[in-house]
Structure 1
């Protein structure tokens, strides 16, 4: 099906499909935010291919108001996951929000948010002998954190996961479960990559591109250096005797997201520092492990290459050309190719990957059903945009905003504020669903990204 999807989207040449099929390339990304691909063309394709469901990689945390369409800048999740255009694949290697930078301020996993009201949780981590309460002075790694709920310490991961599974209509799936279900294969893959890596590689993979962070058992996580020492590897002072031992330790943290209670039982016996898989490796595994076919039996593989469609948000996809995401940066693509190539050579289960990055933020242009006037205004904007020169859409939108800024609802304008996440200001908002304004599906992704870039510049 790989080639058929690319043909239907007009992206075959953009990802050099022939080179992927011939094994001349191992990884090729295309950002549809830079392409003249109609939004409607993509959504119609997803409707025809019912087994093709691109993941929307959200974070562990507060999804209740997201599902009810009252999460402000996070409403693009509502449009995608509630609208059937994707499913929420939850990434749990995040940190609690804190007084210092580095925590997840969007999903705020260190708190419970419902109906716009935020209740901070009492958080506890291991001090070497006991679980002790921590203040908010620093972010804490979610898999290693417990919360006090009615006098009982429960894994923070489990607390949020149970709440998320109660949300009707949302097919939540853990990224970690995908890896654990294929644990022996993933361990073998990471072992091979570690063995073949080099700290100063120019063409191959650096160790830091595989293991990017180290986490201590008290929940402190930071960037790290992994140093080869003979046949072993030093991770922040702790020695793992082999590449396989390092890989197995990385999978221990992954399993902590799937079986948190069992993880905390064994925590006192674990090494003092554990390796955290990098985002580069994670993104490669998204494609290799077929996360875009969540209902397909494990072990089924596309051939001769994989076409992986993925909804990326502000960090991953951004809105080019004004603000691109990290995935298609030249340095990131080099790393993704260096990781994928030895896996394709070394494992029958691995095929080259065409990574089709879909910017989730285009759905920020779909106002809530509680603001019909916004929809009427945006219908007029889209009519103007569709007749404008593609390179001039940003400036055209800025001009439109100067005239119509005050007519847009505060809620819609607030979606584009800098650093905003799930609202927790105590304001009660009615449940809503995102509504596509007239002409939304006729926009190209390139046009929609230019419009959003202008909204962020004018309203952020």
Structure 2
């Protein structure tokens, strides 16, 4: 039976206009009929995303989740590769990417398929926490450890206690930008340690989300200042402060939801008063710069306020679109004529796998918040425009087994034929029945992808490098069908 091997890990933009890293990103760029905006017409998504309302200014933010649409997987991938400018970000986390790039990372192999296959590039989000004995740490990428060839070495972690950096136990998660690791008798910023290792991975030219913000630092600071000034702690229609600053981090690396309230012209964050909205916004950018220049941040850390504001995910998701992260290599051009079409690979939390799990981004409450953040920016800043957010569910690539498991590819090709022969709305039920009959024949590796709470394997089991394989029929599945299959796999194998 024929199968299609995906490309081995290669530079995500090697044949698509240059390197991902190091290129300045234009703001709000596109052009009538060009790039991402054309994608809506090619895939028949204009109505689903509410393009007319966006163009008329009636809406400022509108998402469409491909996991709810009958768009063939292959049609989307082909459309992406036809456009030399368009390359959607895959927002992975800071941490252990070595085994991901080698196709032996279990549930994290969807990163390999997307970034190694040239369907997207790794845009790294660094506002995460180290894994720990208590909940809340990043168990997917495990930034508090070094993992290679399935072997995990836990790091000695240090944070500031007001006088010096002291070693911390692993009872609680630590905010990565404020954490240092003990290496060869010295301290190295945890961000730098992982970034250096990630930079040695052949073909994976990572880009930091924070770098995009820093490159547009004055604009982002102005935007955040405006949003803070206009926020109302009790607003029902506008933006609430907690939707902009969702957490606060203390200098010892402890991060948690915060108490933030206006106090005259200033703002009190967990007991510390910032004198103005701009001062609060600038403090938020200090934390962003901790990711791009960790050494400078740690030098100034003793003189910083005792508590710093952390930008919310809602604001981050708006900035993904407004800062044009889906065009990482294109030089500046004319602004889009009416709205920005942002294309984005979201994983388990952001996109999920509808209908069983839809992810957080398209929830009604989240969309309300994203729209409330975008609206004043569109009204005040000429660089901003309404955003059509096209959410691509990365988890569909969990259905692509590694090249080291050819029997899995044959079995899944049989499943795909069965699903395609059934009614379009019967994918989930069909998969449940197929798994009941054939699921035990799948390899333990593939079955293990769908267990909850799993990340890069660190069980010490040696695994051969591999590339993801598209079983026959994978590209003919619609995203709605593929998402339903992943949901069925999670239900049965999780």
- Scaled to the shorter chain, the TM-score interval is over 0.9
The offset of 1:225, in angstroms, is 2.0
Separation in structure 2 between the aligned mates of residue 263 and residue 52 of structure 1, nearest angstrom: 33
Residue 318 of structure 2: aligned partner? 284
TM-score if structure 1 supplies the norm length? 0.99
Residue 63 of structure 2: aligned partner? 29
Map residues 217-366 of structure 1 onto 2, 5 A cutoff. 217-297=251-331, 301-366=335-400
Residue 147 of structure 1: aligned partner? 181
Residue 30 of structure 2: aligned partner? none
Separation in structure 1 between the aligned mates of residue 466 and residue 455 of structure 2, nearest angstrom: 17
Map residues 207-222 of structure 1 onto 2, 5 A cutoff. 207-222=241-256
1:51 corresponds to 2:85: yes
The offset of 1:16, in angstroms, is 1.1
Counterpart pick for 1:405 among 435, 439, 458: 439
The offset of 1:22, in angstroms, is 1.4
1:128 corresponds to 2:162: yes
Counterpart pick for 1:391 among 425, 439, 442: 425
Separation in structure 1 between the aligned mates of residue 98 and residue 360 of structure 2, nearest angstrom: 28
Separation in structure 2 between the aligned mates of residue 342 and residue 398 of structure 1, nearest angstrom: 46
1:6 corresponds to 2:40: yes
CA contact (8 A) 1:3 1:17 kept: no
Separation in structure 1 between the aligned mates of residue 343 and residue 412 of structure 2, nearest angstrom: 27
- 4+ long deviations beyond 6 Å: none
Separation in structure 2 between the aligned mates of residue 14 and residue 441 of structure 1, nearest angstrom: 21
Separation in structure 2 between the aligned mates of residue 63 and residue 254 of structure 1, nearest angstrom: 22
Aligned-partner SS, 2:49: coil
Residue 64 of structure 1: aligned partner? 98
Aligned-partner SS, 1:14: helix
Unaligned runs of 5+ in 1: none
The offset of 1:300, in angstroms, is 5.8
TM-score if structure 2 supplies the norm length? 0.92
Q: Per-residue CA shift, 1:244-273, capped at 9, x if unaligned? A: 000000000000000000000000000000
1:16 corresponds to 2:16: no
Separation in structure 1 between the aligned mates of residue 333 and residue 314 of structure 2, nearest angstrom: 22
Query: Relative to structure 1, is the Cα distance of residues 299 and 246 closer, same or farther in structure 2, using a 3 angstrom cutoff?
Result: farther
Separation in structure 2 between the aligned mates of residue 208 and residue 233 of structure 1, nearest angstrom: 12
Separation in structure 1 between the aligned mates of residue 270 and residue 332 of structure 2, nearest angstrom: 36
1:185 corresponds to 2:219: yes
The offset of 1:99, in angstroms, is 0.4
Equivalent pairs, count? 460
CA contact (8 A) 1:147 1:156 kept: yes
CA contact (8 A) 1:27 1:354 kept: yes
The offset of 1:407, in angstroms, is 1.2
Aligned-partner SS, 2:48: coil
Counterpart pick for 2:147 among 104, 113, 122: 113
Unaligned runs of 5+ in 2: 1-33
Q: Per-residue CA shift, 1:101-135, capped at 9, x if unaligned? A: 00000000000000000000000000000000000
Aligned-partner SS, 1:148: strand
Give the superposed CA RMSD: 0.8
